[in-house]
A and B are shown apart, each in its own frame.
Chain A
Amino acid sequence: DVQMTQSPSYLAASPGESVSISCKASKSINTYLAWYQEKPGKTNKLLIYSGSTLQSGTPSRFSGSGSGTDFTLTIRSLEPEDFAVYYCQQHNEYPLTFGSGTKLEIK
């Protein structure tokens, strides 16, 4: 199985700042990496897939980069609604595997 290592597990930032979350795969997954947002009381939301393709409706302040084993989610100019938990997930092969999550909190 492909192990996904996500860091940091916790991140505190202020609205307007930019943050980055890292996700590393235990072997090459090409560009088959997705990012999800989890918020209380809402269904999980797909933000980005195939490494850098924004899902319809994802604001342009979100961006994804990387290939092979190293990936990054960047959120520029944080909005209040961005404070949530973020997960990466490889979609290169089954079993699909997720990172352990990053909780982004307001500083």
Chain B
Amino acid sequence: EVQLVESGGGLVQPGRSLKLSCAASGFTFSDYNMAWVRQAPKKGLEWVATISYDGSSTYYRDSVKGRFTISRDNAKSTLYLQMDSLRSEDTATYYCATDATGVMDAWGQGASVTVSS
């Protein structure tokens, strides 16, 4: 059974950093592109970033470019999202997902991030 478990969320002040992790199991992690998708409170889903199966390519939405970094450790079957210079508008639940040419076919339960002073 495919499992994606996010961790590392919490309350952080504006301008500070936070790093999310996503532990994957039940599939060959190194074969899959992976993505982060977020959902602000009472809002819809918003794609954040994608990384290729081998980490050689990354894609970001404009609003996080230069502030967020997606990475992966295939030996540990773990996906990461380093979030720097956080803003209040980054407050959301962050989901990791498999990204099969843009189709998110497995999702985690999410990690909550609140950016507030």
Q: Are A89 and B45 in contact (CB under 8 A)?
A: yes
By a CB distance below 8 angstroms, the chain A residues around B50 are 94, 96
Secondary structure dominating the interface of A = loop
Distance (Å) between the CB of B98 and the closest chain A CB?
A: 9
Of B8-16, B75-83, B101-109, the segment with at least 4 beta carbons within 8 Å of chain A is B101-109
Asked whether A60 is an interface residue with its Cβ less than 8 Å from the other chain, the reply is no
Q: A43-B107, A44-B107 are known contacts. Are A91 and B45 too (CB-CB below 8 A)? A: no
Dominant secondary structure at the B interface: strand
Bound together, the chains give a CA A26 to CA B37 distance in angstroms of: 21
| A95 engages B59 (CB within 8 Å) | yes
Q: A64 within 8 Å of B by Cβ?
A: no
**Contacts of B108 on A, CB cut-off 8 Å?**
43
A-B contact pairs, 25 of them (CB 8 A): A36-B104, A43-B108, A43-B109, A44-B104, A44-B107, A46-B105, A46-B106, A49-B105, A50-B103, A55-B105, A87-B44, A87-B45, A89-B104, A91-B102, A91-B103, A92-B102, A94-B47, A95-B47, A95-B59, A95-B62, A96-B102, A98-B44, A99-B44, A100-B44, A101-B44
